[in-house]
Structure 1
Amino acid sequence: MKISETHNVESIATPIRLQEYAFGIFKTVPTKSSLKKAIKKGLIKVNGKIATTALYISKGDTIELFQLEEKTQRKHFDFPLDVLFEDDYLAIIYKPAGMLVSGNSFATIDNALIQNLQKSNLPNATRPRPVHRLDYPTSGLLLIGKTTESIIVLNQLFEKKEIQKTYHAICIGKIEKKGEINFPIDDKEASTSFEVIETAESPRFDFLNLVKLHPKTGRKHQLRKHLFAIGNPILGDKEYFIENKALKGKGLFLHASTLEFTHPFTKETINITKELPKKFKKIFP
C-alpha cells in the first residue's frame, strides 16, 4: 500500500475517537461513511499501526491514509454560492433547492465549496466540509467547517443541541396557531415546535399556512414527516402528501431560514437569516 495523505495531530484538548477526529482531514475520504470504510479496510494507520474505529487520538499522533483502490482524483464543481458569513474557522452558505449537499454526484455543495470560500490561515486548515445536511429539495442555510478542529467542535455542538435552527414552510389544511409535535421517527424520539405566521384561504388546498418551525431533534425528514403526521403536509412534498392535494412542478416549500449559535472559537453570537425564496412570497407577499 502507498501512503496517500498524512496528518499530524497538533492541537486537541482531550482524546477523541479516530472516526470522530478524522472526519474532514483527508481529501480522498470526505464523508463519515467513506472514513469508516477506510478504517475497516485497514487503510488508516496511527503511529504506524493499523487503526480501529474504537481508537482514541491524542496530541502528537500521526495519522496516515493509504491509497484507496481505483480512487479517482476529486474534481471541483464550478458553481457560485451565496456566502453569508465566513472567517478562518467556519462559513455559512445558502443552499439552493434541488441540490445535493454531498454524496457520489458531481454537482454537490461539497464539491463547490473550495471554489467559493477563502482558504483558512490556521495551521489545522482543511478542505471545507458541511457539518450537517439539508434535503435535496430544501433551500436554506448550511454550516461549513474550515479547520479540522472546527469540524469536530461544530459536530459536537449539533449533538448537544447548542445550534438553533429555524425553518419556514408552507403547509396545507386547517392547523392550530401554535403547538408541539411529538411523534417518533424510526422508533426514536422526535420533537418539533411550530407557529403559524399567516394563513390564506385556497380553492384547491382549503388553507395555506406560512409556518415557522423549530426542530428540537434532528431525525431524517423530521419536519416533513411531523407536519404530514398532523394532517398538514408541506406544499410540494412528493413523499409525504395527501391524495389529490399534491402540488407538482414547484418544488418543496421548506426553507432553512436561520442559524443561531455561539461561535466556539471567537465566542461571538452568530445569528444569520436568509430571506424566504421568491416562490414563498408569491403566496405570502
Structure 2
Amino acid sequence: MANPSFVYQPPMTPYLDFIYRDEDMVVAHKPSGLLSVPGKAQEHKDALITRVNTVLPTATVVHRLDMATSGILVMALNKDSHRHISKQFELRKTKKRYFAKVYGHITDDKGDVDLPLICDWPNRPKQMVDHERGKRALTHYEVIERAVDANGQAFTLVALYPITGRSHQLRVHMLALGHPILGDRLYAHPDALAMASRLQLHAESLCFMHPNNGQWLNFQCQVPFSQYRPAPLLDN
C-alpha cells in the first residue's frame, strides 16, 4: 500500500459549504482533506456526503473528488436528478476546469496529455500509465503563470481540462509531464512535496444541464492557493 502511515484528520471548519441548492440537487465545496464518501474503516466515516446527509437525507453522490483535492462537487436530491446528472458525466457532457500548481516551469503554453491509466495494484491507491492494459485518459492543459516561490523554487500555475475522468488522472498526467503537483503525498518527489502543505489541485469550475429544467449551469469555486481569478468557463 502507498499510504501505510496515513492518519485521517478531516477539516472541521467550515463543516459544510454550499454553493447552490434547490429541490433537485445541491452543489458544495469540498475542502482538501475530506473524503467525498465514507471509507470502510470506522475512522474514515466522516465524508462530505455524510455531512450533507445530516441536513439533506436524500442527497446522493453523483461523482467524486480525491480526498486531497478541493473544489466543486454536485449531489442529487432525488432519483430522477441522480440519473440525469450521472448520464451527463457518463457521456462526457459536463465541462470541468481544475487549477494546479506544479513543480518547475512547463515549457509549452498549452497541450494535451493522452496516456492510458490503470491501478498500480501493489501500490494502491496509486495509478500508473500502462499502454497495454490502461484505459484511455485525456487531459488538456494551459499554462496560466510561471513563477518562483519565496525560496526560489520554480512552479507553474496551470489550468487543467480533463476530458475523461480516470482516478488520479490529473495527478498522474502532470507527473508524466515531469511536473508533479505540489504537495502530492502519492506522486510528488521530496522537493515538490515540501513546497506545499496540501495538494495544490482544485476543481474550480463545473458546467452541466439542470436535471429538471434543462438550463445550462456554470458553477465556480475560488482557487484557495492562488490569487488568480479566471473568467467563467464558457458553456459553448
- 1:198 aligned residue: 145
1:91 aligns with 2:22: no
CA–CA distance in structure 2, aligned partners of residues 270 and 212 of structure 1: 20
- Equivalent pair of 1:80/1:116 in contact (CA under 8 Å): no
* Within-5 A mapping of 1:5-154: 80-104=15-39, 105-117=44-56, 127-154=58-85
Give how far 1:261 is off.
1.2
Structure-2 separation of matches of 1:203 and 1:95: 28
Distance 2:151 2:193 in 1: 10
TM-score by length of 1: 0.65
Map of 2:104 onto structure 1: 173
**Contact 2:182–2:195, Cα closer than 8 Å, also in 1:** no
**Structure 1 spans left out of the alignment, 5+ residues:** 1-76, 118-125
Shift of 1:220: 0.5
Alpha-carbon separation, structure 1, partners of 2:191 and 2:76: 42
Q: Rg bigger for which structure?
A: 1
Contact 2:183 2:192 in 1 (8 A): no
Specify which of 223, 226, 235 is matched with residue 280 of structure 1: 226
The one-letter code of the counterpart of 1:112 is R
Provide the C-alpha distance between the structure 1 equivalents of 2:18 and 2:193, rounded to a whole number of angstroms.
33
Q: What per-residue deviation string (whole Å, max 9, x for no partner) do you get for residues 168-199 of structure 1? A: 00011121211110111011110000001111
C-alpha RMSD over aligned residues: 2.2
CA contact (8 A) 1:167 1:255 kept: yes
Cα–Cα, structure 1 residues 128 and 198, in superposed 2: closer, same or farther, change >3 Å?
Answer: same
Partner of 1:254: 201
Cα distance in 2 for partners of 1:110, 1:96 equals 12
Aligned mates of 1:90, 1:131 — CA distance in 2 = 10
Q: Pick closer, same or farther for the CA change 1:248–1:211 going to 2, 3 Å.
A: closer
1:210 to 1:222, Cα distance in 2 relative to 1, 3 A = same
CA distance in 1, matches of 2:179, 2:51: 35
Compared CA separation, residues 129 and 79, structure 1 to 2 (3 A): farther
- Report the counterpart of residue 164 of structure 1 in structure 2: 95
Where has structure 1 moved over 6 Å in runs of 4 or more? none
Change (3 A) 1:84 1:245: closer
Q: CA, structure 1 residues 193+249, in 2 after alignment: closer, same or farther (shift >3 Å)?
A: closer
For 1:243 and 1:140, locate their aligned partners in 2 and report how far apart those are by CA, in whole Å.
25
Secondary structure of residue in 1 paired with 2:140: strand
TM-score (norm 2): 0.77
Which has the higher mean CA deviation after the structures are superposed, 260-269 or 220-229?
Answer: 260-269
Amino acid at match of 1:168: F
Deviations 1:132-191 (A, max 9, x none): 010011100001000011112211110000111110000111212111101110111100
Q: 1:100–1:109: 8 Å Cα contact kept in structure 2? A: yes
User: Higher relative contact order by CA 8 Å / sep ≥ 6: 1 or 2?
Assistant: 2
Contact 1:78 1:112 in 2 (8 A): no
Contact 2:72 2:204 in 1 (8 A): yes
